[in-house]
Each structure stands twice: as structure tokens, then as C-alpha cells.
Amino acid sequence: LEQQLRQSERLDSLGQLAGGIAHDFNNILAVISGYADMLIDELGDSHPGQPDAVGIKQAAGRGAALTRQLLLFSRSEPSKSELLDLNAVASDMLRLLGRTLGEDIELGTALTPGLPPVVLDRGKFEQVVMNAVLNARAAMPSGGRLTISTGLEHDGGGADLVCLAVTDTGCGMTPDVLARAFEPFFTTKGRGSGTGLGLATAYGVITDAGGTITLESEPGRGTTLRVRLPAGAAAASGTGPSGPAGSTGPG
Ligand code: ADP
């Protein structure tokens, strides 16, 4: 518990820093991207400098994707909490992913019908699932099976927990990687392809919502990312005054 607390304190200060930088940087990147567009137009297709201008445009795009990730990680955007059906989110996600994942990845589902809703920001949660799916795909360069499952569990006190898991049959993680996977900026992916913010962001989103997020992994066999969230009815009809949008997590 103490470790979790330290982790979230670290996330908070890192988040504030990252959020500030990301904001300013995003504006600069928009300018770079705009000038690159003009340059691409002005040079025309046959100019030898054209690929260079396109390169600038693409790099600015990658930078913008990173700053979006930083902004989400910094939690500077207020949460729009709503009652979510995780089965619906999973189905939407699968429909979207079916086309983008590639043929060598077999998609599976194991959805438990009739789950109670959870209270969550839909956009942020979709990012969490999307990141998990992209990690799963990256772990299966020569194909494999990706499964999204949902279910209902009960915590020690008998309260309902709604679960969503993303399982892959990929490379898995060594104990070292597993121990550090939620650390901000920890990545084993090469420069330019990993930010190391996906799981740290997911950790923030899920713990802010009162849930837990865990990884189970075995090298060579695969990985499961599991999210557990309190069933929403109680939280939604909460007795306390609902403050302004933002984190009202315990602590
Ligand atoms: P990134 O994907 O940008 O590296 P993440 O925070 O999402 O950042 O992941 C951190 C690291 O955790 C990854 O670089 C990878 O080493 C490991 N990881 C995450 N998900 C998986 C997975 N499904 N299978 C194997 N390794 C994973």
C-alpha cells in the first residue's frame, strides 16, 4: 500500500510537469506541422526536397501523438464520469480493431453478459484498452491470439467488481520488465516507437476511478492486463456532494 502511495505521489508531480510541457509543446508542433504542409505544397511532387518536408511533417505528427499521451498521463484533463457498460466498450473496441490489427492476430472475446455498469470517463477508458491492445499486438510480431474478456468478481467485503482483461499469447515479460512496467517512461520499445506512458497512464485512470490494474505475464507464453472496477450503482447514486469534475479518489 505504501508503495502504491509513493507511486501515485510520483505520478502526480511527474504528471504536472509533463502536462505543462505537453501543452506548450503541442502548440509548437502545430506550427511546425503547418509550415511543413506549406513547404510540401510549395515544393511540389517532383522537387528533391519533397521527401524531407514530408519527413518533417511525419516527425511533427509523432511528436503530437506523444504530447497527447503526455496530456492524458498528466491527468490535466477533467474526467467526464459516466455509467459505462464494459461489455459495450469491449464490443465497440473489437469492431474498431478487427480491421486494424492485421490478419495474423486472431481476435477473441469472452464477455460475461449482464454486468453492472461502472463509473468512468469513456474516452480515457478506451485509451486504456487501446493501449493494452497495442501492447498485445506489439508482443505478437509473428501473430497470436488476443482476447478481451469481462467478468464479475467480489472483493473481500462482498462488493461487486467488474473486470475487463486483455490477454495475449505474445512474448510475455521477464520479471524485471514486469516489475517496472507501470513506471512512467519505462519502455523496452525502441526510440520513437514507445513512450513508456501507456501503462502509467492506465494506472492513473483506473486508480482515479477507484479500481485496480494488474499484469500477469510469463515469458514466452503471454500477458494479461486486468482491470477491476467497483460496480457503479453505489458510486453513481453517491451520497456525498459531487464536486467539480476531476479526481476525487480516496486519499
Ligand atoms: P510503451 O508501450 O510505450 O513501451 P507501456 O507503458 O504501455 O509503454 O508499456 C511499458 C512496457 O511494458 C513495454 O515497453 C513492454 O516492455 C511491456 N509490456 C506492456 N504490455 C506488454 C505485453 N502485452 N506483452 C509484453 N510486454 C508488455
pLDDT (tens digit per residue) in 71-98: 777 766 777 889 999 999 999 888 887 7
pLDDT at 11 over 50: yes
- The pLDDT, as a whole number, for residue 103 is 85
**Protein residue closest via CA to atom 8 of ligand 1:** 196
- The pLDDT, as a whole number, for residue 8 is 65
pLDDT classification of 63: cutoffs 50, 70, 90: confident
**Protein residue closest via CA to atom 7 of ligand 1:** 198
Please count the other Cβ atoms lying within 10 Å of the Cβ belonging to residue 48: 7
pLDDT at 250 over 70: no
Q: Which of 27-41, 72-86, 132-146, 173-187 has the lowest mean pLDDT?
A: 72-86
Most informative mutation of 187, 191, 193, 226 for ligand 1 (most atoms within 8 A of CB): 187
Q: Which of 6-10, 24-28, 53-57, 223-227 has the lowest mean pLDDT?
A: 6-10
Q: pTM to 2 decimals?
A: 0.76
User: What is the distance in A from the centroid of ligand 1 to the CA of 38?
Assistant: 37
pLDDT at 215 over 80: yes
* Pocket of ligand 1, beta carbon within 6 A: 131, 135-136, 139, 168, 170-173, 177, 181, 186-189, 194-200, 223
**Protein residue closest via CA to atom 16 of ligand 1:** 188
| 109, 70 Cβ separation under 8 angstroms | no
User: What is the distance in A from the centroid of ligand 1 to the CA of 157?
Assistant: 32
pLDDT at 150 over 80: yes
User: What is the distance in A from the centroid of ligand 1 to the CA of 236?
Assistant: 33
- Gyration radius of the chain's alpha carbons: 20
- The pLDDT, as a whole number, for residue 155 is 85
Comparison of pLDDT for 48 and 16, the residue scoring more: 48
pLDDT at 245 over 50: no
Strands 144-154 and 105-110: parallel
pLDDT classification of 240: cutoffs 50, 70, 90: very low
| 71, 23 Cβ separation under 8 angstroms | yes
User: What is the distance in A from the centroid of ligand 1 to the CA of 194?
Assistant: 8
Residue-averaged pLDDT of the chain: 85
**What SS3 class is residue 250?**
coil
Most informative mutation of 68, 129, 135 for ligand 1 (most atoms within 8 A of CB): 135
Share of the chain above pLDDT 70, in %: 85
pLDDT at 51 over 90: yes
Give 132-194 as a DSSP string.
HHHHHHHT-TT-EEEEEEEEEEE-TTS-EEEEEEEEE-S----HHHHHHTTSTT---SPTTT-
pLDDT at 244 over 50: no
